[in-house]
Structure 1
Amino acid sequence: MKRNVLVGLCLLFCTVCLAEAYTQLYGEVTVFDGDEDYDCYRIPSIVRTNNGTLLAVAEGRVDGCGDKGNIDIVVKRSTNNGASWGSTILIDSFGSARLHNPCPVVNKNTGRVYVFYCVDANTIAYKYNDNNGANGYWSDYIEIPSYPSDVDTTNGSIHTGPCNGIQLQRGSHIGRLVIPYRYKTAAGRKIDYFIVIMAVYGIIRKADLLVPVIMVLMKYQLQKRLAVISILISGMPTVMRTQMSHLDTG
C-alpha cells in the first residue's frame, strides 16, 4: 500500500513538473476570451493551412454558455505559430439560429479550407476559404442535401464531430476528406454515426456510410470526464473526438 502511494506521489510530482516546464517553454496564449465579441466561446479546434497559418475555429455564443440560443461560427488566425492571434472573424451567422459543432479540415492538395457545421438540429452545411482563412474570402453557405437513408431529420438531431476532419493519406481513396457526424433520435435512445466523404476537389461523394464506433468513457475525480470516440473504417482508426467537461467548482 505504501509503495502504491509512493508511486502515485512520484507520478503526480512528475506530472506537475512537466506541466510547469511546458508552460515555461511554450508560454500561454489566450485565443478566445468571453469578454470580447461574444459571451462565451466553445467547441474550439485548430488547423494549419498550407502556408503555415493557424486557424482556431469555435462557436461564438451570444446568449451565454448554454447549448441553445443564438450561436455563430467564428475563427481567429495566427501567422506566427500561435504566439499571437488576430481579431475574431465571422464565418457564418443565421440571426437567432444555432450554428454549432464546427469541424475544420484543410485540403492539402488545393489549399482550400473547409469548415463544416450544423444549423439548428437537422441541417448540415459548410463554407470554404481559398485564402488561408482570411476575412472576406469565405464562400457562401452550402447545404449538404443527402443523409443516410435511416436518418430521420424531422424527429432527430444531427451533430458534426465536434473535432477536425481529416484528409486520407493512403489507400485507394487518398486525398479525400472525411468529416464525422452523429445522429440522435428525438427520444435520445439511439445514436448512430456516419461520415461525409468529399473528393479531392470538393465534390460531395457520399453521405450514407454508417461506420462502427467504439466509445470509451474514462471517469476522473471531481466529476471530470473525458470522452473519446474512435471511428473505424476497415478496422483502421480514422477520426478521434475528445472533449473534457467539468463542474465550475472543478
Structure 2
Amino acid sequence: MPAAASTLSDRLQALVKGPQFIWWLGHVTMLVCTSLYLPYWATFNYKAGAHWYARAFFGALVSYSVVVYKSFPNVSFTAQFAQTLFSEENVQYLLMAFFWWRSTPMLAPLIPYVIFAFFNSLNYTRTNILPALFPAPPTGTTDATHAQVAAISRKIQVWTEKNHATAMAFVAYVEVIGVMGSLVIGAITFQSSFLSPIIYANFLRFRYFFSLHTRSAFALIRARLDNLIVPPGGNAKVPPVVATVYTTVRGAITRFGQAAVQQPTAGNPRAQ
C-alpha cells in the first residue's frame, strides 16, 4: 500500500515499532536534558542540576545500546568476538556514556554526545518522521503542503552534509582538549577521580586509531606546542627544564598512543 494511502495512525504505529525510533528518542532525551542542565551549569549550581546531567547520558545510553544491539545481533562468547566488540567505536562511546552517567557532572563530556545527537535526530526527522507525517501524494497529483515539507527536507539534508565534517572536527578538539583538560583539572583539584584521566586516555587512544579528525587534532596540538616550547622555534622565555619535561611527557604519550589496538574486522555502522 502506498504511503499516502495509509492512515496517519498506521504510519505512526509503523514508525514507533522500530528500534530506530527508540534510538531517536535517546538522542532527543540527550538534547532536551542537556538544555535543562545548562542553566545549572551557567550558575555554578552543578549538584542541583546533576539529575538532568544523568538523564542526558541515560538518553545516550539508550541510543548507543540500540546501535550496538543492531551491530552485533549474534553474540559469541569468544575472545575474537570480545576483541571485535570492544574495538568498535559505538561500543566505546556506549561505555564512556555509562562512565559519564555515573561521574561528577561536567559540561565538556556532554558536547560530543550533544553534537552527535543533534545531527542524528535531525537526519532521522528528515528521513522518517516527516515522511510519516506528510507522505508523498499519489503519482500525478500535487500537494502544496508536501512540496513545502520536501523543500524543508532538502534544506536539512544540504545543511547537515555541509556542516557534518566541521562538526566532527570540532568534536575531536573537544574530546582531546576540553574533556581531557577538564578531567586533569578535576583530578588535580580533587573534584574527580585520579583514575578518570587514565580511563579517558584509553578511549582517546582508540579514537586516535579510528578517527581521522582525532589524529588531526593531536597533530595540530603537538605542532603548536612544539613551536611554543621546543627550541629552536620555542619561546626564548620558556626555561629549558620546561622543554625537557614537555618532550618527556610527549614521548610517553606517543608511546602510549602507539600501543597495539586491534581494529574491528567488520565495518559496523556508526552512530555519529
Q: TM-score, structure 2 length as denominator?
A: 0.23
Larger C-alpha radius of gyration, 1 or 2? Answer: 2
Q: TM-score, structure 1 length as denominator?
A: 0.24
Q: Which has the higher helix share?
A: 2
